[in-house]
Homo-oligomer: A and B are copies of this chain.
Amino acid sequence: MFPKDLLDKAARALDAAKAKDVRIATAETCTAGLVSGCLTSVSGASKIFERGFVLYHDSAKATGLGVAEEISRKHGAVSAEVTQGLAEGALKNSTAGVAVAVTGYAGPGGGNEKNPVGTCYIAAARPGATTLVERHVFPGDRDGVRLAAVGAALDLIVKRLQ
C-alpha cells in the first residue's frame, strides 16, 4: 500500500530507534495516521512504535496534547510553533524517547498566503534535546502531499536520533 521508498524510510526510522533503545510516538494532523500506518507496515514495529495521536478536527487541534490555545491562535494550527508543541506533547503523553509531529495543508482546500496548499511543518523531539522543526512546500495532489510529508517525518526521526 505504501511505496517502497517510504517503507525503506520507515525501516530506517525503526532501526535508528532500536539502536538507541527508545520507542517512537507520533502526532499527526494532515497526514492523519499515515506516518503511524507506514511505520507499522514494517513487521516487528510493535516493539518500537508505541502510540500515535491523530488530531484532525479544529476542536482536536486546539486542545490536543497540551499545546496552548494562545500559540495556536497567534501562529495558526499549521505553524512551526504548534508542530513543535505537538511533538513535545506526544513525548509527554507517552513513554517514547522520540516523537515526530506533522501539520500542513494537503489541499485541495485550505492554505493561505504565508502557507499555501502543500505547506507542511515537521518536528521531531527528544527529551533534553532541541526539537528539530522543518518547513516544506510539497508539490502534487492531496495524496502526493501527504505521502511526501510521511517521508519527511520518517527522515526527521532518523535525523533527531543521530
What residues make up the interface of A, taking CB atoms closer than 8 Å to B? Answer: 1-2, 23, 26, 28, 31-37, 39-41, 43-60, 64, 94-95, 107-109, 142-143, 146-147
CB-based nearest B residue for A28? B33
Copy count, this protein chain:
2
Docked Cα-Cα span, A117 to B33, in Å, equals 23
Q: Which 3 A-B pairs have the closest CB atoms?
A: A33-B33, A52-B54, A33-B36
Beyond A1-B143, A33-B52, A46-B58: 19 further Cβ-contacts under 8 Å? A1-B146, A26-B33, A26-B54, A32-B33, A32-B36, A32-B49, A33-B34, A33-B35, A33-B54, A34-B37, A40-B56, A43-B109, A48-B57, A51-B53, A51-B57, A52-B52, A52-B56, A53-B54, A60-B94
Partner of A46 from the list B28, B36, B37, B56 (CB cut-off 8 Å) is: B56
- A152 → chain B, closest Cβ, in Å? 16
Please state if B60 and A50 are interface contacts (CB–CB under 8 Å): yes
Q: Which residues of B contact A57 (CB under 8 A)?
A: 23, 46-51
